[in-house]
Amino acid sequence: MSEDAEAHRSQESLVKPINTWKGYVWDTWELPRDQRWLLFKLDAFVLTFASIGYFLKNLDLNNVNNAYLSGMEEDLEMYGNQLVTSTSIFTVGYVIGQIPCNLLLTRVSPRWVIPSLEVGWGIAVICMSSVKSYNALYALRFLVGIFESGFYPGIHYMLGSWYTPREIGKRSMIFWLAGSIGQLFSGFLQAAAYTNLDGVQGRAGWRWLFIIDGIITLPLAVAGYLFFPNLPQGGKKTWWTTEAEHQLSVRRMQEIGRAGKEPWTKAKAKRIFSSWHTYLLLAVTAAIQFGLWWDKKQKTVVETNSSTSNLTPSEDGSVKDRKAALAVVTPATIE
């Protein structure tokens, strides 16, 4: 097959519907060879980095609750609503950071922004291992919220800049599942840290959890500086793509109408702020987050005030630890 024929087939496949069962299982199996190889590289670099990063993000998001159940409550004298307050402060930082982080993503390549955000929250998490009061914890949780706020939209911005509609669904699913696994894994990590590291070098097990979470986050951030790609529409080729692959990635996005970022104009701002979609999304998100916060606040108040000791009777007459009941208090997953 000639190069022109191969290029024509490659261009047709950008918008061609899936025809075989293999395409439904994994879309790249129906694509021409040049696109398969490009997508293999994207999956290896972009999707892998994004999934591991989201796994670590949710690991760092949930470590406060596990630390609370492993001694942080007593060490920082968090006997009231301080755990819920720390979650609320994280949410405040997350919301405040949304606009500047997303604007930054349109001005600076996500290749530099996203790894930098990871460095920021990784350092903040490590610093949480040295807090002496819950007020210091509040400040660091606020910073973690600021830094984490740009990761989720930044990754989807990156995925949408490289993958076509027929390809992005499965990648987004894998990305989301990685975050869910991070929430699950946090408890196991804390159990291991508490069992094996409690008292090592004079540090409590819950402090080691923050250290471990930060240490495994920072190397991924450094790797992101090396392997995360530039946007195809940015005009700058990424080092692990060939010139032909770079041109192919640009054509792929042009064929589906993704021309890249546009300069800010009055017409663009008016279009955004006059769209009902913008306000509906804000209203729904605010309602969901307020509901989650209020529900967790009420649960914490009930559990905290139900007994003056750490032991409460269960429905079957047995006695259980009050801390176990407080495990229902988890940070809201804003995404």
Q: What is the pLDDT of residues 204-234, one digit of tens each?
A: 989 998 999 899 999 999 999 999 999 888 8
Rounded distance between C-alpha atoms, residue 256 and residue 222, angstroms: 32
More confident residue, 146 or 25: 146
333 lies in a domain? no
307 lies in a domain? no
Q: How many domains does the chain have?
A: 1
pLDDT at residue 308 tops 60:
no
Residue 170: Cβ-neighbour burial (10 angstroms; 0-12, 13-18, 19+): middle
327 lies in a domain? no
Q: What would the pLDDT profile of 237-288 be if each residue is shown by its tens digit? A: 889 999 999 999 999 988 888 766 667 788 878 887 888 888 888 888 788 8
Give me the chain's average pLDDT, please: 81
Q: Note the pLDDT of residue 39.
A: 92
Confirm if 249 and 256 have CB atoms less than 8 A apart.
no
Confirm if 213 and 125 have CB atoms less than 8 A apart.
yes
The mean per-residue pLDDT over the stretch 45-68 comes to 88
299 lies in a domain? no
Rounded distance between C-alpha atoms, residue 126 and residue 256, angstroms: 43
Q: What is the DSSP letter of 43?
A: I
- Non-local (6+) Cβ contacts of 118 within 8 A are 53, 56, 147, 151, 217, 218, 220, 221, 224
Cα 75 to chain centroid distance, Å, stands at: 29
88 lies in a domain? yes
- For 103, 140, 158, the CA distances from 113, given in Å and listed in that order, are 11, 20, 11
What pLDDT band is residue 307 in, cutting at 50, 70 and 90?
Answer: very low
pLDDT at residue 332 tops 70:
no
CATH number at 190 reads 1.20.1250.20
131-139's contacts with Cβ under 8 Å and 24+ in sequence apart are 131/76, 132/76, 133/76, 134/76, 134/77, 134/78, 134/82, 134/85, 134/86, 137/64, 137/76, 137/82, 137/86, 138/85, 138/86, 138/89
Rounded distance between C-alpha atoms, residue 5 and residue 7, angstroms: 5
* pTM for this model (two decimals): 0.76
Token digits for 270?
């008016």
Amino acid in position 118: E
Task: Give the count of alpha carbons within 13 A of 244, CB side only.
Answer: 9
Q: Note the pLDDT of residue 322.
A: 43
pLDDT at residue 310 tops 60:
no
- Give the other-Cβ count within 10 Å of 319's Cβ: 9
Q: Find, among 52, 142, 137, the residue nearest to 97 by Cα.
A: 142
The mean per-residue pLDDT over the stretch 105-123 comes to 92
pLDDT at residue 20 tops 80:
no
Question: Domain range holding 207?
Answer: 3-264
Q: Note the pLDDT of residue 318.
A: 38
The mean per-residue pLDDT over the stretch 112-128 comes to 94
Q: Note the pLDDT of residue 302.
A: 55
pLDDT at residue 328 tops 50:
no
More confident residue, 118 or 195: 118
Poorest-pLDDT segment among 90-94, 201-205, 302-306: 302-306
The mean per-residue pLDDT over the stretch 50-56 comes to 91
pLDDT at residue 327 tops 70:
no
197 lies in a domain? yes
Quick check: helix, strand or coil at residue 321? strand
What pLDDT band is residue 199 in, cutting at 50, 70 and 90?
Answer: confident
Rounded distance between C-alpha atoms, residue 69 and residue 277, angstroms: 41
pLDDT at residue 324 tops 70:
no
More confident residue, 181 or 40: 40
pLDDT at residue 311 tops 80:
no
Rounded distance between C-alpha atoms, residue 328 and residue 312, angstroms: 15
Q: Percent helix, strand and coil across the chain, each rounded to 5?
A: 75, 0, 20
Q: Note the pLDDT of residue 259.
A: 67
173 lies in a domain? yes
Q: Note the pLDDT of residue 296.
A: 67
139 lies in a domain? yes
Q: What would the pLDDT profile of 162-193 be if each residue is shown by its tens digit? A: 998 888 988 999 999 988 887 778 778 778 87
